[in-house]
Structure 1
């Protein structure tokens, strides 16, 4: 699995950080930051869910 984020389209909703806190966080401006580009087995399902929940489509989670 590989996780990336496009901060230019991020709207700062925070769904990623709430859904997969081991994978995503937000900076001081509220924009997404990726904590790990290759989530471990325990975080994979949450990372996929976060990718589906992102309202701006800023996240890409590829298996």
Structure 2
């Protein structure tokens, strides 16, 4: 599994950070989110899927292996 964040679409709503704090963070300037782990293990799949669904601008994509 691989997480992709389209930084051109990200508007820093922070929903990904709320549902997947192990995978996403907001920077000091809070302009865009950052991916903390682009290849999360199976224990974080639920959080990764929740982040994809929570993003109001569909900036997060998940590629399954």
Matching of residue 47 in structure 1 with residue 51 in structure 2? no
Structure 2 spans left out of the alignment, 5+ residues: none
Q: Tell me how large the CA RMSD over aligned residues is.
A: 0.9
Larger radius of gyration: 2
**Does the residue aligned with 1:25 lie in a helix, a strand or coil?**
strand
Q: Deviations over 1:7-63 (max 9, x none)?
A: 111111101011111111111232110001111122111111110110011111121
Q: How many residues in Structure 1 have an aligned counterpart in Structure 2? A: 63
Q: Structure 1 residue runs of 4+, over 4 Å off?
A: none
| TM-score (norm: length of structure 1) | 0.90
| TM-score (norm: length of structure 2) | 0.88
Structure 1 spans left out of the alignment, 5+ residues: none
Output the CA distance in 1 between the equivalents of 2:54 and 2:17: 11
